[in-house]
Each structure stands twice: as structure tokens, then as C-alpha cells.
């Protein structure tokens, strides 16, 4: 009987650890995805600000972010440099990322 209880306890601990590691891995992957979406949105805004693409820079960034399932939290332009912040949620927890794009400094 004691061996059965010990086996069940070990199985439960192993399952709990596995679920924790899977959740942590998924959160890390989601963070990388958010960074990529922020980069793409900032590049879209910078391209629009430079005239390479038509439209309004922050509107273009919002289109790119919404296509990836995120919302624009902030968008600012300093000349041709665009800084874009996006927001989303992972397992009902808020997540955000910020990126900057533009020509290299001279």
C-alpha cells in the first residue's frame, strides 16, 4: 500500500513539473513572437514614414499588429524613426513588447 501511495505521489509531482515546464516554454515562445510582431509593426511604420509605402505610419503599424493578433499600445515618430509598442495577453496575463525602426544614425 505504501508503495502505491509513493508511486502516485511521484507521478503527480512529475506531471506538475512537466506542466510547469511546458507553460514556461510556451510563455518564452510567446514573448519571442511578441517581439517579432513589434519589430514588424515598427518596420511597417518606418517604411510608411519614409514614403516607401503609402498610408499613415501608425495606422500601418496597427494593421500589421492586428494581423498577428496584437494591439498597438503606443506609436511615435521622430523623423523617420518609428517606435511602436504592442500589447496582448498570454493565459490572461498582460504581455507587451516595444521595437524601434528607422534609418541608421548618421
* CATH code for the domain in which residue 65 is found: 3.30.1300
> Does any domain span residue 45?
yes
For the segment 67-81, what is each residue's pLDDT rounded down to a tens digit? 999 999 999 999 999
> Does any domain span residue 27?
yes
> Does any domain span residue 106?
no
Query: For residue 3, is pLDDT > 80?
Result: yes
Q: What is the DSSP letter of 52?
A: S
> Does any domain span residue 21?
yes
Q: How many domains does the chain have?
A: 1
3-state DSSP helix/strand/coil % of the chain, to nearest 5 = 55, 25, 20
Angle formed by the axes of helices 2-50 and 57-67, to 10°?
A: 150
Q: How far is CA 105 from CA 51, 64, 72, 80, in A?
A: 18, 25, 25, 11
Domain range holding 14?
Answer: 2-101
pTM for the structure as a whole = 0.83
Whether the CB-CB separation of 87 and 71 falls below 8 Å is answered with yes
For the segment 11-57, what is each residue's pLDDT rounded down to a tens digit? 999 999 999 999 999 999 999 999 999 999 999 999 999 998 899 99
Amino acid at each position: 500500500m505504501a508503495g502505491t501511495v509513493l508511486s502516485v505521489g511521484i507521478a503527480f509531482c512529475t506531471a506538475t513539473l512537466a506542466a510547469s515546464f511546458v507553460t514556461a516554454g510556451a510563455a518564452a515562445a510567446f514573448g519571442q513572437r511578441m517581439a517579432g510582431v513589434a519589430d514588424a509593426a515598427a518596420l511597417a511604420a518606418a517604411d510608411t514614414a519614409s514614403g516607401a509605402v503609402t498610408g499613415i505610419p501608425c495606422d500601418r503599424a496597427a494593421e500589421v499588429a492586428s494581423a498577428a493578433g496584437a494591439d498597438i499600445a503606443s506609436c511615435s515618430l521622430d523623423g523617420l524613426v518609428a517606435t511602436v509598442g504592442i500589447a496582448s495577453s498570454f493565459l490572461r496575463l498582460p504581455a507587451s513588447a516595444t521595437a524601434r525602426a528607422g534609418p541608421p544614425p548618421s
